Structure 1
Amino acid sequence: MGESETVANENISTIDIADLLNEWYLRIRKHDGEGAFDLKDKIDEIIPNIELKEDLKYYYSLLSYKHDSTFPSFHTQKAEFVFDQSLLNTSLDEIDDMLSYYFYLNKGTIEFNKNNLNTAINYYTIAELKLRNISNEIEMALYHYRIAKLYFQVRQTLFSINHTKKAQGIFTGYENFDMYLMGCKQLLGANYLDIEEYDLAEKFFLEALNDSKRAKSNIFISSSMHNLAIVYARQKKFEKSVFYINKALECKEYSESKHYIRSIYLLASNYNKINNPNNALMQKGLEYCKEHNNIEYEIKFKIESLIANNSMDKVAFNNLLNQIEKQYLFYDLEFQSKSISNYFKKNGDLENAYYFLERSSQSRNKQMQKEVRK
């Protein structure tokens, strides 16, 4: 959860569609016929040509049904490719409950993608209250899964683990939810990694890896290997980490995904840690970042380049950290500051090691302040 998906052949994301659907819902509620019809026409023009997620298809179906019942004197053409015929046997009260739930759920998702995490949590909390009026276990599982990912992003680890386990418990009782079950294991592993419970993190990532092999899901196989590589890197098992990254990158589909640059960066960082810097790899990463306008990882590669060249230039490191701070990437700022501190400590410069350790601590406080302000 947390990144918008750009759909093929259209310069529009699933978050944009969610926003349009929410606006359509508000127009219907206000009995704004003209506005509702304009939005319906706009949406109907877009969605036949894009890959729409199942929850948004269902939300569209609910809105379409509500639209026709609110404006019965007008004939409208339903988009049959997403219209759920089971709704014909559903009461309007039930549909209203579902619409209200999806409205706040989408509001939460939209704010989550804008990185307004506290606002997103507020909307998700309202969605959970609406969900209590709906007797649908799968919707409850999907809700827990979404909120678990959000709590992971704000480092509310115990909340995230709790919601993940609730989702996992429900999904286990149903067929055809293997991908979500793998996602739950990945999420549990990521949470335990954050609190340095490395044995548990490794356990869940290995389970996710084995499940993804059985499902023959190449992306999940590679992402599980990447996650295991992080576990081993955090434990200073750098050679083992390098092995798993290289295995992940063997998958063409993975290497063409948004995850590719993360693995290349981790690989470059590992080579630095074992005093075997790979300047060609770092240059490759920098070129990729410039080509794809990935400012976050461009800065990270520049930090690794300073380390590879044995720089002890405090100002140069600080300037790069300032750039991270300008992107409001406070968790990255905390991690990078701590990593730079360890680098100076390893090279005997204890004064600057302490300085960057303090900056790491300050960045955690800034993240907390940012969340309080929202």
Structure 2
Amino acid sequence: MERTISSEKVGAKIVEWYSCLISKSYEQAILLKNEVKQLISSIDPNDKLTAYYSLVDFKHNILVSRYNKNKCSQKIDPFDEITKIDDMLKYLYYFVSGQYEFTQERYLSAVKMFRKAERLLEYVNDEAEEAEFYQYNGLVYYRLNQYLVASSYIEQAKLIFDRLQYKEPSINCQIVLAGIHQELKNTEKGEKILKEALGQAIDIPIVYAQVLRTLGLNKQAQQKYAEAEIYFKQALEYPEHKDTIFGVKTSYSLANALFKQNKIEEALHHFQLAKAGAAYYQNKEYGARCLFMEGIYIENNFDLIDQAITDLEKERMDFEVGELAEEAAQFAEKEGKTKLALKYMKVAHDARLYQNTLGVDQFV
């Protein structure tokens, strides 16, 4: 006689699967996903269970695809009608939708989804899930250059992750906090945090490499390009990093550091890797950055530089616009093109001004 599998058992397995995603135990999450898929096919699930399964599956695809080059995230709608679903599932719907928007670089849309989720946060009775919510809010505000808001969320997340002994998420929070210090020109504090994180991440290759990359960015911000080059190359020695979108970003940063040192041939190699990777992942920011790099270091073509800045402006990436416009201004000045230098300095000034006028109330 075939043993009956209850919907409660399937639901418990989905909870276990979801917990693995939060703790970044991706190998275990993949095993549980396959197990849940088999279990759910053997029962007649109710609407609530189907919705829960769909949302966790969607979340799984978003998170795991970030590290798997052969599985790029594809948009799916977990369910069209959520008014009849309970508040916990409504929260999860908005939160997972916000995560998807974040991975697609639509940061303002992500904030709107997270704000809707936050109104339902009281229905979340799991500390790890609450911490992940704070972490993603911190990440999106960091990307929007709202550093005080970002650090507040990230510190809340880290506090909970540390209490739960979730090592990898906690280190990821340290990386973001270091990045915030770097953007605020406190590179020494950022480097101290990263050195501590490096020691903690020694047994987690993908995180260890990410810390190395961030140390490289820290040195690059100080215009210590030779030291940045070393860190970037060390990060790319790890396949877990190299064969992901993060490896694409590191290849771009390495190319930039090499161009700055006039190591043209080696820089071109890493530029081509970054350009191909940005196209593969359809990453708008790094697609624009590579176009900019091509214009400024390879073709000496200001039309390409202008197009790259325009592409970033369309995506409301104001910090990136300011960063590249400043670099273009310095380049134009060296070329003796004073009018162009002034033009790009104005673009940079306007971008910096605009990013600092954005507030939380504008995202509601």
Question: Would the TM-score normalized by the shorter structure come out above 0.5?
Answer: yes
The corresponding residue for 2:310 is: 322
Contact 2:105 2:284 in 1 (8 A): no
Deviation at 1:234, TM superposition (A): 0.7
Deviation at 1:166, TM superposition (A): 1.5
Counterpart Cα distance in 1 of 2:304 and 2:51: 53
**1:196-345 map, 5 Å:** 196-213=185-202, 216-277=203-264, 278-290=267-279, 293-294=282-283, 296-309=285-298, 311=300, 313-345=301-333
Between the aligned residues of both structures, percent identity stands at: 19
Q: Are 1:142 and 2:122 an aligned pair?
A: no
Q: 1:129 to 1:322 in 2, by over 3 A?
A: closer
* Partner deviation per Cα, 1:281-319 (whole Å, 9 max, x = no partner): 3344434445555554344234323433483x5444323
Q: 1:112 to 1:250 in 2, by over 3 A?
A: closer
The corresponding residue for 1:193 is: 182
Higher RCO structure, 1 or 2 (CA under 8 Å, sep 6+): 2
TM-score (normalizing by structure 1): 0.67
Q: 1:144 to 1:262 in 2, by over 3 A?
A: same
The corresponding residue for 2:15 is: none
**3-state DSSP of counterpart to 1:261:** helix
Deviation at 1:251, TM superposition (A): 1.0
Structure with the greater alpha carbon radius of gyration: 1
Deviation at 1:218, TM superposition (A): 0.9
**3-state DSSP of counterpart to 2:223:** coil
Counterpart Cα distance in 1 of 2:178 and 2:237: 23
Q: 1:41 to 1:218 in 2, by over 3 A?
A: closer
Counterpart Cα distance in 2 of 1:51 and 1:290: 20
Letter in 2 for 1:340: A
Q: Are 1:161 and 2:161 an aligned pair?
A: no
Letter in 1 for 2:338: L
**3-state DSSP of counterpart to 1:300:** helix
Counterpart Cα distance in 2 of 1:121 and 1:316: 31
Q: Are 1:40 and 2:27 an aligned pair?
A: no
Counterpart Cα distance in 2 of 1:133 and 1:42: 15
CA RMSD for the aligned pairs? 4.0
Counterpart Cα distance in 1 of 2:363 and 2:51: 38
Q: 1:242 to 1:364 in 2, by over 3 A?
A: same
The corresponding residue for 1:75 is: none
Question: 5+ residue gaps in structure 2?
Answer: 1-25, 28-32, 34-44, 65-77, 79-83
Counterpart Cα distance in 1 of 2:92 and 2:281: 33
Contact 2:62 2:100 in 1 (8 A): no
